[in-house]
Chain A
């Protein structure tokens, strides 16, 4: 069975500071993918970044980077230079097999001016 855990229900960060959102996962399958999605208060789900289990380097997309520690089964999202528009729910997602995905419970990030 697949499991994904986000232990931070809510976090605050000062504008322009960096913030790390934690995510740990569990699967026995050697091939898997990890995603992060953002859900603003408006409700839509926005894809941010992807890390494959065989990727040698940590994924980066603009101000988003994924701190992938395979041995520890963690895939933390790092947001650099936080902006007010980063205030949202953030979901870590595990995909095993071709399309079966499991969502974490989410972390609500609030950026303080």
Chain B
């Protein structure tokens, strides 16, 4: 399996622009997670889905952030409008009930820079 795939790997944009991050989970996994990592706040869970349905979005910082999972193989995290404080590495992870320990498999991350 190719693992969790994220695109783009790097994104540089200007304040006010819309940013869309993409994730393809491992085939067969029914849980998908979005995280944000910054030096100041560490790794934060933003939202997670089960069977394409959002289960817990309490970590989403504000209304500028939205996430969707239209099907089992694709999810997006959108920031509109983006702000410099959104600069971070965004990780997508997936897991399934048939994993040995329900461990999460992480994608390589998207490094977002908002100027």
Contact = CB atoms under 8 A, between A and B. Distances in A.
A44 B108 contact: yes
7 contacts: A35-B103, A47-B104, A50-B100, A50-B103, A99-B31, A99-B95, A101-B45
A101 B48 CA distance: 11
A-B CB proximity, top 5 nearest: A45-B106, A50-B101, A103-B43, A47-B103, A105-B42
Nearest to A95: B102
B56 interface: yes
A43 interface: yes
Interface centre among B44, B91, B101, B108 (most CB of A within 10 A): B101
B25 interface: no
Contacts of B103: 35, 47, 50
Interface residues of B, number: 24
Nearest to A102: B45
Contact of B109 (A44, A91, A103, A105): A44
The number of chain A residues touching the other chain, given as a range, is 20 to 34
B53 to A, nearest CB: 13
Interface of A: 33, 35, 37, 43-47, 50, 52, 91, 95, 98-106
B89 interface: yes
B105 interface: yes
A34 B55 CA distance: 21
A84 to B, nearest CB: 22
Contacts of A37: 106
B101 A44 contact: no
